[in-house]
Amino acid sequence: GAGVSQTPSNKVTEKGKYVELRCDPISGHTALYWYRQSLGQGPEFLIYFQGTGAADDSGLPNDRFFAVRPEGSVSTLKIQRTERGDSAVYLCASSAGAGSQETQYFGPGTRLLVL
């Protein structure tokens, strides 16, 4: 079946602009996660959704970052007033549930470059 998909695959924007990154999880997966990966480092957790609600957004770096999942499927990560330090790969993952036995499956990521 189809895996996690993310669009766009690459995004170049200018400092101060607003961007939206989209994630389509595996069909039927109730849990969805966003991670951010800076060059040379492992992914870092940003936010976790169970259904439509954000169950944990403790990893969001500041209030310029916001994510939604209005119908419990597709999610959008929104970044306002982008800064050069926001440049990274933004990864989305989904799982059938959220327990420690539930495997998270990742998408290919969106590479964001803020000039």
Partner 1 sequence: DAKTTQPTSMDCAEGRAANLPCNHSTISGNEYVYWYRQIHSQGPQYIIHGLKNNETNEMASLIITEDRKSSTLILPHATLRDTAVYYCIVRGGSSYKLIFGSGTRLLVRP
**Residues contributing to the site for partner 1 (CB under 8 A):** 4, 31, 33, 35, 41-45, 48, 55-56, 59, 91, 93, 98-109
Phi, psi of 85 (to 5 degrees): -70, -10
Q: Is the dihedral of CA 95, 97, 103, 104 positive or negative?
A: positive
Position of tokens 């607003």? 18
* Three-state secondary-structure class, residue 86: helix
Min. distance of Cβ 11 from partner 1 in angstroms? 15
Min. distance of Cβ 89 from partner 1 in angstroms? 8
Min. distance of Cβ 68 from partner 1 in angstroms? 19
Of the pair 82, 107, the CB lying nearest partner 1 is at: 107
Distance CA 38, CA 112 (A): 10
How many CB atoms sit inside 10 A of residue 36's CB? 21
Of the pair 3, 16, the CB lying nearest partner 1 is at: 3
Of the pair 18, 107, the CB lying nearest partner 1 is at: 107
